[in-house]
Amino acid sequence: MIKITFILALLLNATYFFASSGQIKQSIATLESNVGDMEVEMIQLEDGKWKLRSYLDGGRIVKREEVEYFYLENNFIQPIEYDFSMKVILMRKYNASAFFNWDENKVSFIEKKERGTVALEEKVLGPSSAQLQLRLDFRNLNLENIPKNLKYKVFWKGKIKERIFDIQKNPERIETSMGDFLTYKVSRRYEEGENKSQIFWLAPDLDFSVIKIFNDDGRRPITIEMKSFKEID
């Protein structure tokens, strides 16, 4: 169960928000999986920062909350702060946080009892914002000449690593609880020998929102779909 909730933490945030005319919309979405439904909310604060929050209430089995604050400048996400907490039945509570200091080019993090600092590189993304950046970049692609992949630098668990997403050139139509959509299939690339798979389906008709995710960590496959969505005034 704890493995599944970590997968949700990685995948369900920052990807499910419609936008128009080059701007993100404040919104709230509900996602469904075999763990339970998760509510994902994104709002803009008075100081211009964005707040992305997800909350899963799995009853007595699991509860998890993830929050990331970031600025959006020139269509690129600049993370500021990240907080994660989770409690799973019969296991201890897990907490993690990160603070991005762009003036000093460092990120300070706390994970369980571990504390540390890592040097920041240009255009590093936070733990929950990589998929949102993927979607924002898709909005600016020339669909007649789609690249083979997109690459990002992501802070995760005290390290900065490169994530590569391979893009299937030809779109495919899929069915979801919200209807049928023509989508572009994007697969995260893993190291050779890793028995893992992570696939996203982005729908151009929904401004390239991710409407379906498949994840297989080598132990248990999980399918996640958008269930409902509404904009917040």
The pair of structure tokens assigned to 111 is: 């994970």
* Residues 163 and 188: beta-carbon distance below 8 Å: yes
Full-model pTM: 0.83
Confidence of residue 124 (pLDDT cuts 50, 70, 90): very high
- pLDDT attached to residue 192: 83
Tokens at 74, concatenated = 């020139």
Binned at pLDDT 50, 70 and 90, residue 20 comes out as: very low
CB 55 within 8 A of CB 65: yes
Residue 129: per-residue pLDDT = 85
Query: Which sign, positive or negative, has the C-alpha torsion 76, 11, 172, 228?
Result: negative
Per 3-state DSSP, the chain is made up of helix, strand and coil in percentages (nearest 5) of 10, 55, 35
pLDDT 10s digits, 40-98: 888 999 999 999 998 887 777 778 899 999 999 888 999 999 999 888 776 678 889 99
Token duo for residue 163: 């994530």
Q: What pLDDT is stored for residue 221 in this prediction? A: 81
Domains defined along the chain, listed by start: 2-231 (2.50.20)
